[in-house]
């Protein structure tokens, strides 16, 4: 149970009901990370807009890379809610279960480029040690051929997931009921994080 009240979908007033209807996931309900905003519904749309822009908008990172960074940051923050959602999304876009299982477990995954390995080191260090200057990591990324636009995009994904991980962890956001025991959703079930 979350640490604060969440207004259920069937008890939402007109304004909140409109938001719930707008953000209803393909599986038929509203993801808990969105419903946690129910006491301050004015915060919901800006949150979703930021998420959609960073994770689905135009930018130099591929969807696979975005979900890779999202999963690494969420794992580093011990955010089970976001690890479930974004490891699942990574599996859906990569179709590579050994890669995703390794990322979830914090192991060195096969199948990454040298630049992607540097990306996840940068993401982990920026997450775990935000006060330390990551200038050396940024220079390593540049030497590996990663553009400054791409580095900005990585930092935005890292920043967003540190934000949302703290919401999920800090408010006790619980997983929805559709997760399988292996930590993934049914691949036949459409998810909000599927490619758009």
What average pLDDT does this structure show over 124-132? 93
125 vs 134: which has the higher pLDDT:
125
- pLDDT of residue 67 exceeding 80, the answer is yes
What average pLDDT does this structure show over 42-66? 97
The per-residue pLDDT for 190 is 80
What average pLDDT does this structure show over 105-118? 94
Mean pLDDT score across all residues of the chain? 94
pTM: 0.95
Residue 131 banded pLDDT, cuts 50, 70, 90: confident
Could you tell me the two tokens for 69? 């960074």
The per-residue pLDDT for 135 is 86
60-74, 156-170, 172-186: range with lowest mean pLDDT: 172-186
Q: pLDDT digits over 143-163, tens only?
A: 999 999 999 999 999 999 999
Residue 134 banded pLDDT, cuts 50, 70, 90: confident
- pLDDT of residue 37 exceeding 70, the answer is yes
CA angle 179, 182, 122 (to 5 degrees): 95
Q: All domains of the chain, ordered by start, with CATH?
A: 62-170 (1.20.1290.10)
Pick the closest to residue 167 from 65, 14, 51, 53 (CA basis): 51
Taking a C-beta distance cutoff of 8 angstroms, is the pair 118, 137 a contact?
A: yes
The per-residue pLDDT for 46 is 97
């Amino acid at each position: 149970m979350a640490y604060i009240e969440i207004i259920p979908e069937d008890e939402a007033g007109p304004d909140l009901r409109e938001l719930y209807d707008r953000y209803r996931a393909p599986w038929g309900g509203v993801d808990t990370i969105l419903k946690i905003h129910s006491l301050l519904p004015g915060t919901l749309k800006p949150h979703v807009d930021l998420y959609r822009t960073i994770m689905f908008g135009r930018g130099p990172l591929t969807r696979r890379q975005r979900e890779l960074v999202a999963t690494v940051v969420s794992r580093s923050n011990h955010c089970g809610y976001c690890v479930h959602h974004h490891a699942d999304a990574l599996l859906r876009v990569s179709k590579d279960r050994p890669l995703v299982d390794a990322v979830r477990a914090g192991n060195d995954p096969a199948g990454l480029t040298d630049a992607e390995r540097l990306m996840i080191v940068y993401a982990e260090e920026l997450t775990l040690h935000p006060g330390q200057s990551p200038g050396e990591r940024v220079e390593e990324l540049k030497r590996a051929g990663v553009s400054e636009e791409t580095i900005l995009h990585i930092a935005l994904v890292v920043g967003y997931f540190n934000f949302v991980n703290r919401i999920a962890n800090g408010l006790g956001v619980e997983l929805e009921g559709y997760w399988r025991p292996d930590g993934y959703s049914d691949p036949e079930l459409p998810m909000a994080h599927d490619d758009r």
